[in-house]
């Protein structure tokens, strides 16, 4: 992520609205952004790369095959530089490619490689915009966290009247600027995140555990790092790669997680406890595998420490976020947990629905505070992470100001 002027990469696809991207580039430059442009081959039929080279003073990326052998791979360098990646206009074809993860040209390859937030301003014929396949692709990208600037209604280039016109340039620029502010709103903050479940060993083979995949915590850690925070992620055993830009501490048991969290909490501005920590552990672990013939009728348990409650009792000044996976009385139980743990926010969800929650890519949550209960729609976990960190950033700003 750039640390000087925020970098906006503007992707331009082949549509009559491409000419409006010239105005967008100028507007973004006047707002203090560094703008770089990537175009599809079809876009160059409407506006030439020279136009954007002149406006931005930067090389314009069109072909995957234009890199010199000694230069950085252009689509990767653009992807890494971008604070925001905006595609204006975006055709139905490119929306479909993005939804499917296809990368067969400079623009879609850069989009797939970037970790920056994606702002999409569609433009197409009304019938194309209304097609079920297009709507499904749009919703797929929305659940992954993409921001759409809805097309306007009016007369289209083909003569039809209806939805599909590229949105007003000022509305598009405003959406991009919101994402650019968001991408740095946690700069300087230390965010501590826990993720995954813990495994409490019975013997060298067996353990007490749960179904937590760690996906929500990892999404939060990656989003916080993207927004400029220093992130410490303490995770139980999960099958996920380390998120970019984070300190990752892998533990197994609740006691190990507690030790890793306490070692980092004193410097944390925010602690987000998504981990599904086992409430109990075996009172004694067998040093050898217990044979079926020797298995006891019962296993003695002892209670694990309540890490969230322990942090809440420290009165450190850090913003504290807890998670509540419930099967009944979701909101009431979350409100009780909010008070008992002295947390600022509890994120609650109903795990009795097997299509959401543990191990899935989507969830529906409630953000519970002392002032309100806000219900989210069904979203991808990266989108939930962004929504949560919007709330955390607002709390940090209020605390600092």
Which residues are marked as active site? 158
3-class SS at 367? strand
Return the structure tokens found at 82: 């971008």
Q: Which of 360, 378, 370 is nearest to 337 (CA)?
A: 370
The two beta strands, 118-122 and 190-195, are unpaired
Contacts of 285 (CB under 8 A, 6+ apart): 201, 202, 203
Contacts of 267 (CB under 8 A, 6+ apart): 190
Query: How far apart are the C-alpha atoms of 339 and 234, rounded to whole Å?
Result: 24
How many helices and strands (H and E) does the chain possess?
A: 13, 22
Q: Identify whether the C-beta of residue 41 lies closer than 8 Å to the C-beta of residue 62.
A: yes
**Largest CA-CA distance found in the chain, in angstroms, rounded:** 81
Contacts of 116 (CB under 8 A, 6+ apart): 1, 9, 79, 82, 83, 84, 85, 183, 226
């Amino acid at each position: 992520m750039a640390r000087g002027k925020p970098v906006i990469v503007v992707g331009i696809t082949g549509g009559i609205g491409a000419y409006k991207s010239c105005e967008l580039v100028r507007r973004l430059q006047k707002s203090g952004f560094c703008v770089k442009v990537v175009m599809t081959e079809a876009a160059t039929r409407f506006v030439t790369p020279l136009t954007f080279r002149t406006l931005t003073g930067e090389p314009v990326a069109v072909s995957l095959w234009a890199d010199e052998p000694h230069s950085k791979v252009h689509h990767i360098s653009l992807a890494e530089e971008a604070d925001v990646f905006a595609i204006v206009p975006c055709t139905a074809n490119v929306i479909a490619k993005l939804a499917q993860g296809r990368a067969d040209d400079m623009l879609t390859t850069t989009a797939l490689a970037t970790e920056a937030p994606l702002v999409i301003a569609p433009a197409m014929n009304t019938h194309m915009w209304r097609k079920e396949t297009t709507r499904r692709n749009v919703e797929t990208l929305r659940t992954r966290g993409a921001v759409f600037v809805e097309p306007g209604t009016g007369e289209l280039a083909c003569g039809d009247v209806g939805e599909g016109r590229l949105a007003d340039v000022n509305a598009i620029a405003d959406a991009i600027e919101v994402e650019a502010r968001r991408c740095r709103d946690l700069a300087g903050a230390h965010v501590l995140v826990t993720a995954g479940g813990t495994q409490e060993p019975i013997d060298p083979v067996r353990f007490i555990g749960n179904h937590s995949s760690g996906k929500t915590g990892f999404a939060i850690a990656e989003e916080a790092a993207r927004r400029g925070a220093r992130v410490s992620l303490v995770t139980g055993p999960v099958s996920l790669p380390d998120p970019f830009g984070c300190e990752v501490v892998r533990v197994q048991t609740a006691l190990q997680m507690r030790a890793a969290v306490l070692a980092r909490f004193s410097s944390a501005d925010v602690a987000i406890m998504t981990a599904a920590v086992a409430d109990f552990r075996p009172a004694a672990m067998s040093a050898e595998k217990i044979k079926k013939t020797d298995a006891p009728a019962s296993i003695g348990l002892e209670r694990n420490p309540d890490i969230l409650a322990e942090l809440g009792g420290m009165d450190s000044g850090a913003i504290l976020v807890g998670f509540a996976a419930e099967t009944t009385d979701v909101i009431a139980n979350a409100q009780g947990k909010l008070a008992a743990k002295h947390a600022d926010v509890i994120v609650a969800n109903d795990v009795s629905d097997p299509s959401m929650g543990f191990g899935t890519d989507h969830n529906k949550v409630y953000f519970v505070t002392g002032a309100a209960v806000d219900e989210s729609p069904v979203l991808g976990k990266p989108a939930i992470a962004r929504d949560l960190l919007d709330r955390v950033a607002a709390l940090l700003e209020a605390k600092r100001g």
